[in-house]
Structure 1
């Protein structure tokens, strides 16, 4: 008989855990996340949104279930205490019947309350909050079914709740469809977008020195070079922008597209194409460098340590830190292969 009572109490705790978890998950899911899922064609989100639109009814069903199983478990535990534990205390410890009954109830109620709070409330609610959408999708059909079975009682509780709530002043808050919680973000943002966000956080503390092309590897042109030599350098480099040097000092940036258009028109004074340089120290954070390049409307910055040239940084390099490698048409060295074959046939 004792094992049967413990079995029923365990069943009650299990049902209580499901209802408590469903309640926490239901409250955690916002309408904005559900509407987003509906736009993506998620059918389960439609039912959950309907229930979310009328929270009084849904919460009434859950509270009826929680109250019922709690009362049932308490009744079983109380009956067992009165029938088995109290006589045992009287017989073995010589307690008075009244004292034995009180102590027997405490011996049952305290462990039952502890188990109910931990296993029936805290654990399921914590787990449900971690996976609010998944938990809600599983629970929604059952809660909806129960609301139909308990319709008269649910309607009464819903009406009473709304009447009492109406007595309190309304709090003006931002529309819920403009709000989104961290739990919603976790469920709505794809793994790739999450990685982008992580990368953005990382580069806030990363300096351009960590992503720059060191000056030893930079291809540049000299202001004294004839236009034919510059054309060869530009083509062989495969780069869109090259620093222009004068006595080892960077005086400008050459855009290859502008250069070839200029050359085709028959002009030879190519230094006139030099664009202003954007100089920055190597300690500058990447995001700051990005803002500087945006403000100056340029794609390349010259990196210095004091007055010494250290390298260059480009918009492409910064973007790659955020979204990953960007394939360049010349990454396979096609231009070098073409130039090499031409020299071979000559």
Structure 2
């Protein structure tokens, strides 16, 4: 009975690993809307993936060890040592005349072999394969069932899981250092680029491009995307004349089309498909020209992987979704290329992409929504300068909120290291303008 209970526990714990780590953003969106106790626990566990995995592995190992020990005890109780000695004597009798010590030695070997083979079969079939197949099909159901037990186990095994997680982080850090050439850091690579290229004509642009290529694989979609508040998109119910006005004003060749709101993008309209219908009446059903093959990407996706997808699928635009399935914005092939070679201008780009004002050599005025990467490029500092304090923020306003922890008041001043930020304009919802002061500049 005890072995059966332990086997069921092992199956539930093993299945939980697949169940929790196979949930997608749609599942999390559904759980967020439910608001039940188990749903909240699952969402809480989602925020601690490393600790959750460590707890599952530690719990499963303890249970498996208990199964092995209990199985050995049960086997010895059911089959006394004399039985194994008889089997060993009969087996050895085919080859030699065995002595008492040989029979005892081989008897223990047979007992150990039966225990190992039997327990391994039970654990693999009923403790690993079967529960993981079930969990793959019923991941949300099993996650709800195991949410509270795992949160309890996470507290019980907190000391062990913390050691395991910290050791893993240390190991990963060493692997990352070796991946870029032993103990070579990003700063060392940047310095080597500057020393190598600085003597050449027009070296400034070449240096920026080379540095961008080095960090290309570390940049996420969220860092380069156009946020939803800045996206030009149209409702599929508008008339042709209104649609043409939006196209003419924006100058874009591809327009996302949504139903009700931007969280429900139904397709992409290619402006070139409208060329033969410019003189059609306002009730022309332009919706038939919408291409429904919308490509969705998560915010955390690396842009080097997205570039490969764009090349493979022959796409130029994707809708960016957050962890709950809502649309965060869009990312285009041009956005990816600009991350390496700088801003690309065409005949429709009348406005400067990054709105800022250079007050003097040490002070710059930026919009709060300006991306941190763009701010660093413009003022001439390393794009990794604020990595230690920016948290999940990608914009200048987000950095201020991460540092302050609350919405600042107008004229508030924030000092971070050698840099100073002054909030110039703010409303109830966001920080609108910020002055960035560089080191050695006037702090007035």
What's the TM-score, normalizing by structure 1? Answer: 0.46
Determine which structure has more spread, i.e. the larger CA radius of gyration. 1
Greater share of helix residues, 1 or 2?
A: 1
Of structures 1 and 2, the one with the larger relative CO (CA 8 A, separation 6+) is: 1
Greater share of strand residues, 1 or 2?
A: 2
